[in-house]
């Protein structure tokens, strides 16, 4: 009997040796083809739960497999280290965000090392270190230089008592979570990135292999719609503008307009409102401000609004159209105003009903009786009450009306997008300071590269209001203008953490390079990323931001590709108690316990065996002992003395070995790890039987065990390495080639032919693989178990699927 399998000592022993030997060190100048396997780096929340392992283990297995297939694999790891939780910890517990974050990193790095991954820790990237955020800031100045970053007004949640911006989560029932003052919507000066400039390109996912649903989510988020901008004539005392322009996708309904609806924030509102409506309008606007954006946009909320007292003219029919303001109109979409056609739009319909505004039909439903509509009719139909367009199908009318408007100069076809510019400034401490200087003479000036990074001051006075301590740090604020040398003030906002994660995968390529954000040679070598794995929750945040960022720096000539991630794979989520794991819910499952109990390999294999990787599921450890048992069996199987009693079983053993190599290779290529592990189990079960009977020669036995170990190496790296060494093979198993299979050896000379009658299984016979169709059909009808089902029936057809089955169809 071989020595017992002891996972604990093996984990430590090999992790130490691999580190000492720099086994997983990645070099750029390596003749092998490159493979960049990226996995989303963790946020430094404190500790990794089992869900993180579910993300990282299969990614590591896949990367290890590629390594064994002869690729020079870059599979790096780092930490997304800037963000709000660090600052909240500071406010709550008086611990400095930097201390909190770096402690968390130490713990998480320890955990990550216990997985036994192939991370090259020399390439670790931490976004909150000055050597990293220097370049995050540098990128920001580049974006500013290229007019992709700008300072402008954006609506935010504002607490007037605390004098602070609140995140949506910090607003409870319209009140500040700290002081319970009424929260107000306010337009504040913010920094934004012009992601909208890339809207069209972001909708296209050409040449990249991404999950369909992520592509759909991104396209919906960008939300491109084709429509027409229509000018309504305006003649209002004291207003210089002679028109109101609106965007519509339904110009065919323009003859049914019975009111205009402007967003409360629309710039014309104040000037259009007549004196007798002023009080009402102002009260309404004030009330709107009390809603958060989320509440205001809720479909639950009843649509309401007020009349301004002003009118404009529908140029197509000369009708006078009352101008209302309504909070269902968004100031940030289209032109901030809509032409309301209540008969053919659900929202306008509800509004018109409430305020008794007429609802004339201009698109006739198929069997319309001329009566008033009960609900808005939004489907296509025939145009009616629309002057020269009457009788035209509405789909055609869209174009016809648009062309007419263009001819008259009353409108033009255009496109509109749902996506907004990316609000990137945060009134917070724990982020990269936005490297901008406000000079009273020169205006906004970027901090030049030589003065970067703009260091985050260490001493910080954290206020219970959640305000950025930077705002009150005189030493930080006061500076000189890089252009005129005069006194100036620093920007005190910091950058959104998502800006840091836009380029971390570039930094991995040359993490210690100090002349630029990255060494262009290294990035040219490694990028784009061959496979990116991570959660789908980033579909319209990180993944969209990053695509924008890369396209932007491509256009600056910094990189020569526009899509950073060639293939994207979203793993599923491990849940506990039917919900996502999170500290606040207290349902996090700590992997450390399992690792110290059962060893990393068991936990690795178990996570992969749970089910399809993209599916995730409820965490349940009831089966993990089975995985432990299996690895034990493999240990004994490989290390116990094998005594052969002949070579009669060689043929079958060789065949099963090659079949398994084929199956396992195909599964790992497709990231089907659960069936890959199952195939390895089946194979080892079979080897157990061979060992029992001694039916194969020692030579074939050894070859098969070797193949099993090589295929097991990515999944159970410690166990495989130990057995490999004990069997006397050369260190390290992880530098070996993945086994190949010979297709001809996977085939059998005899096959099992399935015989069906009317599609129902009736018999199985073993026949030579070379059997002809005629023979097979004849044989099938001759079977004793088949005959009774043919008796008294007429055979109408016989289907033969070569190598598989015969189906006799009877009547």
Q: Does 569 bind RNA (CB under 7 A)?
A: no
DSSP 433: B
* Alpha-carbon distance values, 395 to 263, 383, 389, 448, 627 (Å): 28, 10, 12, 55, 61
Residue 265 or 491: the one with the smaller Cβ distance to RNA is 265
In whole angstroms, the minimum distance from the beta carbon of 67 to RNA comes to 25
**Which run of H or E residues covers position 548?**
helix 542-555
C-beta separation of 526 from 36 below 8 A: yes
Q: Considering only 554-562, 646-654, 760-768, 774-782, which stretch makes contact with RNA by CB under 7 A?
A: 760-768
Q: Which of residues 210-239 bind RNA (CB under 7 A)?
A: 212-213, 216-217, 220-221, 223, 225, 227
Q: Does 601 bind RNA (CB under 7 A)?
A: no
Cα angle, residue 659 at apex, residues 656 and 661 outer, rounded to 5°: 110
Interaction pattern, residues 685-714, with RNA; x per rule: CB under 7 A: x--x--------------------------
Q: Considering only 15-23, 35-43, 496-504, 672-680, which stretch makes contact with RNA by CB under 7 A?
A: 672-680
Q: Considering only 94-102, 268-276, 295-303, 586-594, which stretch makes contact with RNA by CB under 7 A?
A: 295-303
**Which run of H or E residues covers position 188?**
strand 184-193
Copy the structure tokens of residue 659: 């079949």
Candidate residues 184, 208, 444, 754; the one interacting with RNA per rule CB under 7 A: 754
Question: For residues 788 and 29, what is the distance between their CA atoms, to the nearest angstrom?
Answer: 72
Q: Considering only 173-181, 369-377, 727-735, 794-802, which stretch makes contact with RNA by CB under 7 A?
A: 794-802
Candidate residues 760, 774, 791, 811; the one interacting with RNA per rule CB under 7 A: 760
Of 341, 331, 324, residue with least CA distance to 261 = 324
Candidate residues 96, 151, 271, 296; the one interacting with RNA per rule CB under 7 A: 296
C-beta separation of 658 from 650 below 8 A: no
Residue for token digits 């005129």?
Answer: 484
Q: Which of residues 308-327 bind RNA (CB under 7 A)?
A: 327
In whole angstroms, the minimum distance from the beta carbon of 759 to RNA comes to 3
Residue 297 or 484: the one with the smaller Cβ distance to RNA is 297
Residue 492 or 684: the one with the smaller Cβ distance to RNA is 684
Candidate residues 442, 681, 779, 790; the one interacting with RNA per rule CB under 7 A: 681
Residue 183 or 439: the one with the smaller Cβ distance to RNA is 183
186 forms bridges with which residues in the sheet? 156
Residue 213 or 645: the one with the smaller Cβ distance to RNA is 213
DSSP 317: T
Q: Which of residues 156-215 bind RNA (CB under 7 A)?
A: 212-213
34 forms bridges with which residues in the sheet? 72
Residue 418 or 483: the one with the smaller Cβ distance to RNA is 418
Of 406, 401, 414, residue with least CA distance to 253 = 401
Cα angle, residue 810 at apex, residues 806 and 811 outer, rounded to 5°: 165
In whole angstroms, the minimum distance from the beta carbon of 1 to RNA comes to 11
Of 164, 162, 211, 218, residue with least CA distance to 186 = 164
Strands 305-314 and 319-326, bridge-based pairing = antiparallel
Question: For residues 138 and 155, what is the distance between their CA atoms, to the nearest angstrom?
Answer: 27
Q: Does 68 bind RNA (CB under 7 A)?
A: no
| Farthest CA pair distance, the chain | 108
In whole angstroms, the minimum distance from the beta carbon of 739 to RNA comes to 20
Secondary structure of 4-54 in the HEC alphabet?
A: CCCHHHHHHHHHHHHHHCCCCCCCCCCCCCEEEEEECCCECCCCCCHHHHH
Strands (E), 392-499: 411-417, 422-423, 425-426, 436-439, 443-446, 478-480, 487-490, 494-495
Q: Which of residues 388-447 bind RNA (CB under 7 A)?
A: 416, 418
* Torsions phi, psi for 112 (to 5 deg): -65, -35
- DSSP characters over 193-216: E-GGGGHHHHH--TT-B--HHHHH
Cα 507 to the center of its chain, rounded Å: 20
DSSP 58: H
Residue 152 or 611: the one with the smaller Cβ distance to RNA is 611
Of 810, 620, 637, residue with least CA distance to 708 = 637
Of 85, 74, 76, 65, residue with least CA distance to 112 = 76
In whole angstroms, the minimum distance from the beta carbon of 199 to RNA comes to 11
Question: For residues 391 and 364, what is the distance between their CA atoms, to the nearest angstrom?
Answer: 9
Residue 477 or 754: the one with the smaller Cβ distance to RNA is 754
Sign of CA dihedral 166, 167, 172, 177: negative
* Distance, first Cα to last Cα, the chain: 63
In whole angstroms, the minimum distance from the beta carbon of 810 to RNA comes to 9
Q: Which of residues 341-370 bind RNA (CB under 7 A)?
A: 345, 347
How many residues line the site for RNA (CB under 7 A)? 81
Residue 16 or 298: the one with the smaller Cβ distance to RNA is 298
771 SS3 class: coil
Residue 120 or 327: the one with the smaller Cβ distance to RNA is 327
Residue 11 or 327: the one with the smaller Cβ distance to RNA is 327
Residue 507 or 691: the one with the smaller Cβ distance to RNA is 691
Copy the structure tokens of residue 683: 């194979």
Q: Which of residues 720-739 bind RNA (CB under 7 A)?
A: none
Candidate residues 67, 134, 289, 672; the one interacting with RNA per rule CB under 7 A: 672
Question: For residues 100 and 544, what is the distance between their CA atoms, to the nearest angstrom?
Answer: 29
Q: Does 612 bind RNA (CB under 7 A)?
A: yes
In whole angstroms, the minimum distance from the beta carbon of 206 to RNA comes to 19
Q: Which of residues 614-633 bind RNA (CB under 7 A)?
A: 615, 617-618, 620, 622-623, 625-630, 632-633
In whole angstroms, the minimum distance from the beta carbon of 683 to RNA comes to 9
Q: Does 301 bind RNA (CB under 7 A)?
A: yes
The count of residues in the chain is: 811
Interaction pattern, residues 513-552, with RNA; x per rule: CB under 7 A: -----------------------xx-xx------------
Residue for token digits 């836009």?
Answer: 502
Residue 509 or 544: the one with the smaller Cβ distance to RNA is 544
Question: For residues 123 and 102, what is the distance between their CA atoms, to the nearest angstrom?
Answer: 17
Q: Which of residues 326-345 bind RNA (CB under 7 A)?
A: 327-330, 333-334, 336, 338-339, 345
Residue 105 or 376: the one with the smaller Cβ distance to RNA is 376
Residue 29 or 797: the one with the smaller Cβ distance to RNA is 797
Copy the structure tokens of residue 341: 């056609």
Q: Considering only 63-71, 442-450, 680-688, 697-705, which stretch makes contact with RNA by CB under 7 A?
A: 680-688
Q: Does 85 bind RNA (CB under 7 A)?
A: no
Candidate residues 693, 758, 770, 772; the one interacting with RNA per rule CB under 7 A: 758
Candidate residues 596, 752, 770, 772; the one interacting with RNA per rule CB under 7 A: 752
In whole angstroms, the minimum distance from the beta carbon of 572 to RNA comes to 8
In whole angstroms, the minimum distance from the beta carbon of 317 to RNA comes to 18
* Alpha-carbon distance values, 661 to 338, 402, 685, 736 (Å): 63, 63, 15, 15
In whole angstroms, the minimum distance from the beta carbon of 633 to RNA comes to 5
Residue 152 or 623: the one with the smaller Cβ distance to RNA is 623
Q: Does 797 bind RNA (CB under 7 A)?
A: yes
Q: Which of residues 244-273 bind RNA (CB under 7 A)?
A: 247-250, 263
């Amino acid at each position: 009997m071989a020595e017992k399998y002891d996972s604990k000592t093996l984990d430590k022993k090999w992790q130490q040796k691999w580190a000492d030997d720099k086994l997983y060190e990645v070099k750029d100048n390596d003749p092998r083809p490159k493979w960049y396997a990226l996995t989303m780096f963790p946020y430094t929340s404190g500790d990794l739960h089992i869900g993180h392992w579910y993300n990282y283990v299969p990614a590591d297995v896949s990367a290890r497999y590629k390594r064994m297939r002869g690729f020079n694999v870059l599979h790096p790891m780092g930490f997304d280290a800037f963000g709000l939780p660090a600052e909240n910890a500071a406010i709550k517990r008086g611990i400095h965000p930097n201390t909190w974050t770096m402690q968390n990193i130490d713990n998480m790095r320890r955990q990550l090392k216990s997985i036994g991954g192939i991370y090259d820790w020399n390439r670790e990237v931490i976004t909150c270190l000055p050597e990293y955020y220097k370049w995050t800031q540098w990128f920001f100045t580049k974006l500013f230089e290229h007019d992709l970053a700008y300072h402008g007004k954006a609506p935010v949640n504002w607490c007037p008592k605390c004098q602070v911006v609140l995140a949506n989560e910090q607003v409870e029932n319209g009140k500040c979570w700290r002081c319970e003052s009424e929260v107000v919507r306010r337009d504040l000066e913010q920094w934004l990135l012009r992601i909208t400039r890339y809207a069209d390109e972001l909708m296209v996912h050409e040449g990249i292999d991404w999950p369909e649903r992520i592509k759909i989510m991104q396209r919906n988020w960008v939300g491109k719609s084709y429509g027409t901008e229509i000018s309504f004539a305006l003649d209002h005392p004291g207003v210089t503008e002679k028109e109101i322009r609106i965007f519509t996708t339904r110009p065919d309904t323009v003859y049914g307009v019975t009111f205009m609806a402007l967003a409360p924030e629309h710039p014309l509102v104040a000037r259009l409102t007549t004196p007798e409506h002023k009080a009402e309008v102002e009260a309404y606007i004030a009330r709107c401000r009390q809603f958060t954006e989320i509440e205001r946009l809720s479909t639950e909320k009843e649509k309401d609004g007020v009349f301004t007292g002003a009118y404009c003219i529908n140029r197509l029919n000369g009708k006078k159209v009352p101008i209302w303001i309504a909070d269902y109109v968004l100031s940030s979409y289209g032109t901030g105003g809509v032409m309301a056609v209540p008969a053919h739009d659900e929202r306008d319909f509800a509004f018109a009903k409430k305020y008794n505004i007429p609802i004339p039909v201009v698109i006739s439903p198929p069997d319309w009786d001329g009566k008033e509509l009960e609900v808005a009719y939004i489907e296509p139909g025939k145009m009616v009450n629309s002057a020269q367009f009457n009788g035209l199908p509405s789909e055609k009318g869209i174009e016809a009306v648009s062309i007419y408007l263009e001819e008259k100069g009353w409108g033009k076809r255009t496109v509109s997008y749902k996506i907004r510019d990316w609000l990137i400034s945060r009134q917070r401490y724990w982020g990269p300071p936005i490297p901008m200087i406000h000079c009273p003479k020169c205006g906004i000036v970027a901090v030049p590269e030589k003065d970067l990074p703009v260091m985050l001051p260490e001493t910080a006075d954290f206020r219970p209001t959640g305000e950025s301590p930077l705002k009150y740090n005189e030493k930080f604020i006061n500076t000189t203008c890089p252009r005129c040398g005069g006194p100036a003030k620093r920007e005190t906002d910091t950058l959104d953490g998502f800006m840091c994660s836009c380029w971390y995968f570039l930094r991995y390529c040359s993490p210690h390079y100090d002349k630029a954000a990255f060494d262009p040679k290294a990035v040219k070598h490694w990028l784009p990323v061959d496979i990116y794995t991570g959660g789908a929750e980033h579909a319209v945040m990180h993944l969209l931001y990053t695509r924008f960022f890369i396209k932007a720096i491509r256009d600056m000539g910094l990189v020569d590709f526009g899509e950073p991630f060639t293939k994207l794979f979203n793993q599923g989520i491990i849940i506990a108690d039917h919900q996502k794991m999170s500290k606040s819910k207290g349902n996090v499952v700590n992997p450390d316990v399992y690792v110290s109990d059962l060893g990393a390999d068991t936990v690795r294999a178990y996570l992969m065996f749970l089910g399809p990787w993209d599916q995730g599921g409820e965490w349940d450890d009831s089966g993990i002992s089975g995985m432990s048992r299996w690895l034990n069996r493999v240990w004994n199987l490989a290390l116990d003395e094998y005594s052969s009693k002949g070579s009669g079983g060689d043929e079958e053993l060789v065949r099963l070995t090659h079949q398994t190599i084929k199956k396992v290779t195909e599964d790992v290529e497709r990231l089907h790890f659960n069936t890959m592990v199952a195939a390895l189990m089946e194979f080892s079960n079979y080897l157990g039987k061979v060992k029992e009977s001694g039916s194969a020669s020692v030579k074939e036995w050894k070859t098969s065990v070797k193949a099993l170990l090589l295929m097991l190496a990515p999944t159970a790296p410690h166990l495989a390495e130990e057995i490999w060494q004990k069997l006397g093979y050369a260190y390290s198993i992880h530098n070996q080639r993945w086994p190949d299979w010979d297709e001809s050896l996977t085939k059998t000379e005899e096959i099992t032919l399935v015989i069906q009658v009317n599609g129902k299984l009736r018999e199985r016979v073993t026949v030579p693989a070379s059997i002809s169709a005629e023979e097979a059909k004849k044989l099938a009808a001759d079977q004793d178990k088949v005959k009774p089902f043919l008796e008294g029936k007429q055979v109408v057809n016989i289907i033969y699927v070569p190598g598989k089955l015969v189906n006799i169809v009877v009547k």
